[in-house]
Amino acid sequence: MPVLVASDLDRTLIYSAAALALTMPDARAPRLLCVEVHEAKPLSYLTETAAQLLTDLGDTAVFVPATTRTRRQYQRINLPGPPPRYAICANGGHLLVDGVTDADWHRAVLTRLAEACAPLAEVREHLLRSADPAWVRKHRVAEDLFAYLVVERELLPEDWVKELAVWAEHRGWTVSLQGRKIYAVPQPLTKSAAVREVARRTGAELTLAAGDSLLDADLLLAADRGWRPGHGELAGTGWTAPGISALPERGVLAGERIVREFLKAVRQRG
């Protein structure tokens, strides 16, 4: 039976230039490979060692990127190794099969959201009304499924995020602060649901996962084994659970360690 490896991307496997600062002084930085270019500018990286490990992983397991990115944002990424047959975008709102949205899956997601939580319009209106333009740089809606803000972290009032989280929870939504972005995502919109569907289709009996944010917690809990880096929302709260390894590495070296752990677990299974 194949092993399914589902991993978050940003700040788990790949890192922006800003996120690279989590790693180490420039003089000790590892050699990097750029895996995302947008508007002629390099955006995201992983180490050259991680790139080789990820290529080996793609040859021995069902590797599934599981991201909160929109489909368009995901398709900018050019990961090393064989192209993933399955990819999860918009936090589980879209399941891509050979790069194409599975329409039946998406319709089922929309039905589930309509039955289980407050509508997107209500949440977006609250964000527009309550967020201060002094520290908000962008308001965005992703795939008509969830909303997020791009903010100036140094100006962001700490209590505002906590208050938003309480308000959202009563309406069936989750709030996640990741770098300069504040996400408001419906609670039923999960990566884990999409991963279970991929496991069903592939016949995988072992699922491995990695992630760094609150939106990855359900993915980690649904896996047989999981890893989180030494940075991010989950590390910041000391979050862990049975079967979850909390790694000490931070930044791009954590991404390399995660791929190494994936590959080790797959080979042990074989």
SS (H, E, C) the chain: CCEEEEECCECCCEEECCHHHHCCCHHHCCCEEEEEEECCEEEEEEEHHHHHHHHHHHHHCEEEEECCCCHHHHCCECCCCCCCCEEEEHHHCEEEECCEECHHHHHHHHHHHHHHCCCHHHHHHHHHHHCCCCCEEEEEEECCCEEEEEECHHHCCHHHHHHHHHHHHCCCEEEEEECCEEEEEECCCCHHHHHHHHHHHHCCCEEEEECCCHHHHHHHHHCCEEEECCCHHHHHCCCCCCCEEECCCCCHHHHHHHHHHHHHHHHHHC
| Model pLDDT, residue 20 | 81
Say yes or no to pLDDT of 23 above 70: no
| Model pLDDT, residue 18 | 82
Report CA dihedral (139, 217, 190, 256) to the nearest 10 degrees.
80
Say yes or no to pLDDT of 22 above 90: no
**Residue 203 φ then ψ, to 5°:** 75, 15
As beta bridge partners, residue 162 has: none
pLDDT tens, 241-262?
999 999 999 999 999 999 999 9
pTM (2 d.p.): 0.94
Say yes or no to pLDDT of 24 above 70: no
Decide yes or no: CATH 3.40.50 for domain 118-186. Answer: no
Say yes or no to pLDDT of 163 above 90: yes
**Residue 5 φ then ψ, to 5°:** -120, 110
pLDDT tens, 189-200?
999 999 999 999
- For the chain, the domains span 3-110+189-268, 118-186
pLDDT tens, 44-98?
999 999 999 999 999 999 999 999 999 999 999 999 999 999 999 999 999 999 9
Name the percent of the chain lying above pLDDT 90: 92
Tell which CATH architecture fits domain 3-110+189-268: 3-Layer(aba) Sandwich (3.40)
Question: For all residues of the chain together, what is the average pLDDT?
Answer: 95
**pLDDT bucket at 183, cuts 50 / 70 / 90:** very high
Say yes or no to pLDDT of 150 above 90: yes
Name the percent of the chain lying above pLDDT 70: 97
Say yes or no to pLDDT of 7 above 90: yes
